[in-house]
Amino acid sequence: MPSHYDIEMRLDVRVPMRDGVALSTDLYLPKDRGPFPTVLVRTPYGNNMEAMIEKARRLANRGYVCALQDTRGRWDSEGDYEPLVTDGEDGFDTQEWIGRQEWSNGRIGMSGGSYLGWVQWASAPLASRHLTCMAPRVICTEWFEGMVYLGGALQWNVLMTWGMRTNGRTGQNIDFHHWTEAFRGLPLNQADELAGRNLPFFKNWIAHPTYDDYWKGLDVSARWGDITAPAFNMGGWYDLYAQHTFDNFNGLRAHGATPEARRSRLIIGPWAHSLSVSPRTGDIDFGPDSQVDLDALELQWLDHWLKGIPGGIVDEPPLRLCIMGINEWRDEHEWPLARTDWQRWHLHSRGSANSVLGDGVLAPEPPGEEPADRFTYDPRYPVQTMGGNNCCSPHIVPWGPYDQRPVEMRGDVLCYTGEVLTEDLEVTGPITLVLYAETDAPDTDWTGKLVDVWPSGYAMNLCDGILRARYRESRTDPTLLEPGKVYRYEVDLGVTGHVFKKGHAVRLEVSSSNFPRFDRNPNTGHALGVDTEQRPAQQTVHHSTACPSHVVLPVIPHR
């Protein structure tokens, strides 16, 4: 076979779906008799983007047909656009169509990140005999908590910015919105209109604030056992889907329908949603070794499954992690790591942990009889988002690691800081905050953030999370609080892979808002989305023998 092929382009090929809707598909084919394997890319962002075309041409040069398809209701494709809903069937129908073409050898791989990753997972449980492998980047497979309601709180920045950009048939410029005002629009179910847009799917998602049948129908994580194709998962520690990238890896490795599906892989680096585009993420330069040619790795994956070329990443350990702090790559075999030492680091204070200037301490020793910490959470003046696992407009709300000291100077942010470390401490895995707390409101939020404090005082955020109190027991049947009663909360702070260097310290922040990453809880207990009222809440965090608030750290022993 030739090592390089000339290219034939067939643009705006109309691919019929089962309901008669035709989806516009651009084909990039090797100029040869074939048949060839196909790489399918389905996108709502336009199949005529320069980077996408360049990738399609590279693949065609190497003996692949590359099919770039506009999803339903977007750009040149027919139909109505409703995110997520028809992507499974449309993907399956496209795969079956490709398999019938004279230029196809019947093997299909899929490629792409974010929504382009979702369409891969959406079609996979339908198990087309032609879908041979996938390479999804930075995406979840369960949308209720994966993107929309993390811990029961709306991921407001994503829904507003991505939602407005994806409004209508073509891309929308959102750079001229007054975002300080747009994010604060109330009631939430009219925030799109207050900012000048009309997003029916946005209103629909706000109208489904529990994990009901609507969300269950979009939950691929319940169908691992139907998936026959292996997946090469790619993610970033500062991507909003970081934890879900591991969930996808574990789900398919454990429950995939075929031995091939159970050979799935994962790579994760110190990257945000855009992945390996620069050695710098946020404030931090992670060095040139932090960058990886993900397209080259993906090509090895495609070559193995679609062309039968042996070797490459398929024969290597299934996990490739870049451990921050030391900025070193390491191969692993499971997640969480089998050698993890799960340590409880407890919250302590003399009752004044408010701000970084307070007396909050984080230590492995459990608390005795200590006074509680108190603060006022006022949703009119929320704690500002300072980087983190955000998406998808870093020029509006930055993503990645940033100095948290401006946030930590607030009286409504409790700071618990460990002793200066006398040796390196690696924390790699999922992070959970167990909080014993009370409020005088019928509902409120609890937030947590894990921070690396440098000798200079620089406070580098690693991961964070939120829990809306009414969802403390169930995401299907939320229940309001009894004001003044102490409840036990488990706040999922996401995942990290990081070494706290000697001379650094571990810090935990606790508060009740992280805005505009998450919407503000108005503390009223009313139905989601209808409030224009906001009321302050008096918050109390306990750390005592009876109420031992703590964070669970996955400490990795030195080898």
Omega of the bond leading into 136 within 30 degrees of 0 (cis)? no
- Say how many Å lie between the first and final Cα of the chain, rounded: 47
Q: What whole-number distance in Å separates Cα of residue 356 and Cα of residue 407?
A: 9
Q: What whole-number distance in Å separates Cα of residue 336 and Cα of residue 342?
A: 10
Q: Are strands 104-113 and 7-16 parallel, antiparallel or unpaired?
A: unpaired
- In one-letter notation, the amino acid at residue 355 is S
Q: Which of 236, 235, 320 is nearest to 270 (CA)?
A: 236
Q: What whole-number distance in Å separates Cα of residue 298 and Cα of residue 233?
A: 10
Instruction: Record the tokens describing residue 65, joined without a space.
Output: 């047909």
Q: Would you tell me how many other CB atoms lie within 10 Å of the CB of residue 124? A: 30
Q: Would you tell me how many other CB atoms lie within 10 Å of the CB of residue 529? A: 18
Determine contact, residues 249/233, Cβ cutoff 8 Å. Answer: yes
- In one-letter notation, the amino acid at residue 63 is G
Determine contact, residues 455/503, Cβ cutoff 8 Å. Answer: yes
Instruction: Record the tokens describing residue 331, joined without a space.
Output: 């191969």
Q: Using only the alpha carbons of the chain, give its radius of gyration.
A: 24
- In one-letter notation, the amino acid at residue 459 is A
The DSSP bridge partners found for residue 430 are 495
% helix / strand / coil in the chain, to the nearest 5?
A: 25, 30, 45
Q: Are strands 7-16 and 22-30 parallel, antiparallel or unpaired?
A: antiparallel
Determine contact, residues 23/292, Cβ cutoff 8 Å. Answer: no
Q: Which of 455, 557, 554 is nearest to 504 (CA)?
A: 455
DSSP code of residue 148: I
Q: What whole-number distance in Å separates Cα of residue 125 and Cα of residue 382?
A: 41
- Known catalytic residues? 114, 239, 273
Residues 6+ apart with CB under 8 A from 235: 137, 138, 241, 242, 245, 246, 266, 267, 268, 271, 275
Q: Which of 548, 461, 549, 544 is nearest to 506 (CA)?
A: 461
Q: What whole-number distance in Å separates Cα of residue 300 and Cα of residue 464?
A: 34
Q: What whole-number distance in Å separates Cα of residue 419 and Cα of residue 190?
A: 47
Q: Give Dmax (Cα) for the chain.
A: 79
DSSP code of residue 471: G
Q: What whole-number distance in Å separates Cα of residue 140 and Cα of residue 136?
A: 10
